[in-house]
Structure 1
């Protein structure tokens, strides 16, 4: 059955609200808070999703689709460096569902969407390395971790909580500047990176704890 335009609008609103609430409340974010921020009735939400886990699973699926979309857009850029910039800036602007790691049961659909997203991103990083525009010792996990760090902005979160709308534009501009500084650090350099390159398990293992029973 095709999804209605209203359902799709609600999905987008819920995903945006979830990212904003999770940024502040983390794993303690409530469905009621997310629904209220999205302007969606809690009753209608629970008629559609049987549990908090099911809602979060759906939101993760939508987010993975968005990550795949920006990776494919980045791959379409003529200049591989422009592709990296597009991917990082778009991902930082989207916000993160990382606080859900280990708290959501991974479904087959989520795993399939994640594999597709990873494949596109791996191709993007490989193209940038091949073109010599991304420093050789930077891995795709490095880039993902940079995005995760840049996505969370205590400054923006605090100003939102305080209702300081007059300062939010300046705070978002500051976040963009910090992102640009971080991107400049990905350019080829003779200065070696410290330590060993992180493996993908460092980034993904935390998501499996909900299925393995680890806390």
Structure 2
């Protein structure tokens, strides 16, 4: 029995490594191709055959749902870490930085293209609750500019969670410039985050985005015909 368990352990570890590689490849292909990302492109990026991918995920939708759940898990964990931080500004900006580094922007293009499962909906509600708490605490402390809303933060994360320069260089195979592009992106994130700080700012243009812009994107459009 012990010998059988010892043989299963390496196989399980290898399967977990392969799954992580596959999920990372899916994120990268989604960042480049958006909703048009194909299973073939994801498998090729991961260095596996399409059959291997389908043994792990029955459909592309299953794979994207798994990616979304993992992203929501990380969102919840990052928000909880932010709320555990004594300083409201460090808590909020630490959360934003973590989410940007995770690659939040890669999942935006699949909104409305996959079914929202009960697990996804529950995790999304929890992530919204924690994020609202982070933002409310920063507003109450007077460190976040008062005209910034939670929808602003959500959309900012989506925009900053991608780096077109990094994606282009990766497609070109320019590994010599990848780190420089990543550093430039981190600098831009710092500039954007600093713009959230309360102080002397020009008024933001337009009205605050409606929460519907975020939630209804995940509802598939009605079938035509």
TM-score, normalised on structure 2? 0.87
Match of 1:120 in 2: 130
The alpha-carbon deviation at position 38 of structure 1 amounts to 2.6
**Closer/same/farther in 2, CA of residues 77 and 213 from structure 1, 3 Å limit:** farther
SS in 2 for 1:209: coil
Asked if 1:80 is matched to 2:88, the reply is: yes
The alpha-carbon deviation at position 82 of structure 1 amounts to 0.7
Q: 1:57 aligns with which of 62, 65, 76?
A: 65
The alpha-carbon deviation at position 152 of structure 1 amounts to 2.0
**Closer/same/farther in 2, CA of residues 213 and 7 from structure 1, 3 Å limit:** farther
Distance of 1:119 and 1:77 partners within structure 2: 17
Query: Rg larger in 1 or in 2?
Result: 2
SS in 2 for 1:196: coil
Q: 2:39 aligns with which of 26, 31, 43?
A: 31
The alpha-carbon deviation at position 137 of structure 1 amounts to 0.7
The alpha-carbon deviation at position 5 of structure 1 amounts to 4.1
**Closer/same/farther in 2, CA of residues 103 and 82 from structure 1, 3 Å limit:** same
TM-score, normalised on structure 1? 0.90
Match of 1:198 in 2: 209
What value does the CA root-mean-square deviation take over the aligned residues? Answer: 1.7
The alpha-carbon deviation at position 75 of structure 1 amounts to 1.1
Conserved? CA contact 1:11–1:59, under 8 Å: no
Q: 1:148 aligns with which of 151, 158, 167?
A: 158
Q: 1:170 aligns with which of 170, 175, 180?
A: 180
Match of 2:6 in 1: none
Structure 2, unpaired ranges of 5+: 1-11
Asked if 1:69 is matched to 2:80, the reply is: no
Q: Please, which moves more after superposition, 9-18 or 143-152? A: 9-18
The alpha-carbon deviation at position 159 of structure 1 amounts to 1.0
The alpha-carbon deviation at position 90 of structure 1 amounts to 1.2
